[in-house]
Amino acid sequence: MKKLKVGYWPLSRDLKSAGDRRRLVFWAQARGHEIITDLSRTVDVIVASEKTDLNSSILSKKKSPIIFDLVDAYLSPLNDFDDLARGVAKKFSGQISGELKPFSKHVKDFCLQSDAVVCSSVEQEEVISPYNANTHIILDSHDEIPFIEPLQPNHVKYRELRILWEGQPATIRGVRQVSSILAQLAITNRLHFDFVTDEKYFQFLGKHFERSTLALLRRDLKEVHDKISIIPWSPNNLFETATKSSVAMIPIDLSVPMQRLKPENRLLIMWRLGLPCLCSPSPAYIRVSDVAGVSSICENQKDWYAKFSNLLNEPNFAYEEIVRGQDYLHMHHNRNTLLRKWDYAIESVMG
């Protein structure tokens, strides 16, 4: 493929948000393509992110092919009211122009108009494909995160018993589901809970009503509130925290479609960091855990308690879980695979 000028409507102005740097920016830098955020310039192809004004006249007047990088499940809103409220909020905050309507309708229309859509899971593709047959599944690159070989079982006894959660505050309230389990575990084990995330978050459109993440966690995990630490997210902080941890957790609220349909990125990151990981039974986590042959899925409270106990107290079992997870990464989630998938998505609209 020739070196391209890729027009991009990014998630962040400096291209440093995870959704920018782990996706299009990762591919463009690796392949030597130029990213142009000034869409008034001549470009070979345009990639629109979820922060794009999907009704912008700039896009409609361009003759370049358009790819929609749609990584969240906006086509599966929580309910009609929430869907309309999101559309209204984005309209009056200036994030989107055009007709006032539910946000999922804006997304559907843009999928229909785009030359291709990129999503991040098999489950999302099933929802998107009726609106665009040229849909591609591409997970995030995790190259920025060190690959940690698992500790041999005879060394694990020297580790502190710490449980790791990593992610954005938008998904952190899933831990409420396991609050009583964490409290029970803390009675029989010397446990600490590390949350590698943002210290502050916004309740509305990512920029209004700032709140404290630690205060939220202490309310949701009040029985273990004195055993919680917030570590500001950075690749180095995540690495350092993982090396001190025994197990990771990803409890999510499956009643929220945006959460239930999220891809497997966070589970893969935990395996990359050399940690066994327990998670809620979302479609993506079930699919990946089955292929990897690991016992990550917790269907109920009894499962969470029993599997946490096994991982914390059975070093051989924990080690085998990590090895299976990392074998999956080597086979299914490596740099070359991701780059080829982006190549194919771009080429599919270039003719």
For residue range 55-109, list pLDDT tens digits in order: 999 998 889 999 999 999 999 998 999 999 999 999 998 999 999 999 999 999 9
Spatial distance between the Cα atoms of 36 and 156, rounded to a whole number of angstroms: 48
pLDDT band at 207 (very low <50, low <70, confident <90, very high): low
Mean pLDDT of the 256-270 span:
95
pLDDT band at 131 (very low <50, low <70, confident <90, very high): very high
Better-scored residue on pLDDT, 156 or 42:
42
Sign, CA dihedral 36-38-42-44, equals: positive
User: What one-character-per-residue DSSP string does 156-199 give?
Assistant: GGGS-EEEEEES-GGGGGGGGGGHHHHHHHHHHS-EEEEEEE-S
Answer whether residue 292 shows pLDDT above 50: yes
Spatial contact of 6 and 44, defined as CB atoms under 8 Å apart: yes
Percent of the chain surpassing pLDDT 90: 85
pLDDT band at 156 (very low <50, low <70, confident <90, very high): low
Sign, CA dihedral 222-223-227-231, equals: negative
Widest Cα–Cα separation across the chain: 64
Spatial distance between the Cα atoms of 51 and 320, rounded to a whole number of angstroms: 41
Domain spans of the chain? 5-142+335-350, 153-332
User: What pLDDT was estimated at residue 206?
Assistant: 59
- Fold match, 5-142+335-350 / 153-332: yes
CB neighbours of 47 closer than 8 A, spacing ≥ 6?
6, 7, 8, 9, 24, 66, 67, 68, 69
Spatial distance between the Cα atoms of 232 and 221, rounded to a whole number of angstroms: 19
Residue entry with tokens 């996706």: 23
Spatial contact of 116 and 47, defined as CB atoms under 8 Å apart: no
Task: Give the pair of three-digit tokens for residue 92.
Answer: 């009056």
DSSP 3-state of 5:
strand
pLDDT band at 158 (very low <50, low <70, confident <90, very high): very low
User: What pLDDT was estimated at residue 5?
Assistant: 97
Percent of the chain surpassing pLDDT 70: 96
Find the length of the chain: 351
Q: What is the CATH number of domain 5-142+335-350?
A: 3.40.50
Task: Give the pair of three-digit tokens for residue 254.
Answer: 């499956």
Mean pLDDT of the 109-122 span:
97
CA 10, 213, 185, 257: dihedral to nearest 10 degrees?
-50
User: What pLDDT was estimated at residue 351?
Assistant: 74
Mean pLDDT of the 334-350 span:
97
223-250 burial, b at 16+ Cβ within 10 Å, e below that, comes to: ebeebbebbebeeeebbebbeebbbbbb
Task: Give the pair of three-digit tokens for residue 170.
Answer: 């938008």
User: What pLDDT was estimated at residue 211?
Assistant: 86
Q: How many CB atoms lie under 10 A from the CB of residue 221?
A: 21
Instruction: Give all strands (DSSP E) within 177-265, no chain letters.
Output: 191-197, 200-204, 208-212, 228-232, 247-250
Q: What integer best gives the mean pLDDT of the chain?
A: 93
User: What pLDDT was estimated at residue 210?
Assistant: 79
CATH superfamily of 153-332: Glycogen Phosphorylase B; (3.40.50.2000)
Amino acid at residue number 102: P
CB neighbours of 43 closer than 8 A, spacing ≥ 6?
5, 6, 7, 36, 62, 64
pLDDT tens-digit series, residues 39-52: 999 999 999 999 99
